Amino acid sequence: MPNILLTRIDNRLIHGQVGVTWVNHLGANLIVVANDEVAEDEVQQDLMDMVVPEVIGTRYFTIQRTVDIISNAAEDQLIFLVCRTPQDVLRLVEGGVPLKKVNIGNMHFSEGKQQVASTVSLDESDKEAFRKLHKLGVELEIRRVPDEKPEDILKFL
């Protein structure tokens, strides 16, 4: 079983809140970004690595590669898993990644989405992914930063 401390959905993936605030709060020593686009984009990876303290490892994998190898994680790897969308998280869970809790931090507003919290906007596809994750036993919370009170996303579905 991999030591996945928390999984976060954040459109921005790694940035200051993720690379410093959440990592310190969780005690993570590895951030795994599971995203098909970023796994193939070294420029984005380099930019994200700039905000992460040097003592924290980073890995950038496609969703399928994450499914295939996360169970091989060493016991001393304390993993903070970051995804861009709820659909990516659902693919991980359906692929067998043992996720218990998902933090929804930032899902940008765009056309067709409804803002449900200060930093979270959803469309029907997002809502359906969250419903499926809930049915699969995954706890879901909206929370930007660790010291903020979590909000249950289920009331918006």
Residues 77-97, buried b or exposed e (16+ Cβ, 10 A)?
A: bbbbbbbbbbbbbbbbbeeeb
DSSP assignment of 38-81, as one string?
Answer: HHT-HHHHHHHHTTS-TTSEEEEE-HHHHHHHGGG--TT-EEEE
Out of 15, 25, 108, 134, pick the active-site residue.
15
Which residues make Cβ contacts (< 8 Å) with residue 64, sequence separation at least 6? Answer: 95
Roughly what angle, to the nearest 10 degrees, separates helices 124-135 and 86-94? 30
User: What are the distances in angstroms from CA 141 to CA 19, 103, 122?
Assistant: 19, 5, 14
25 is catalytic: no
**Residues with catalytic roles:** 15
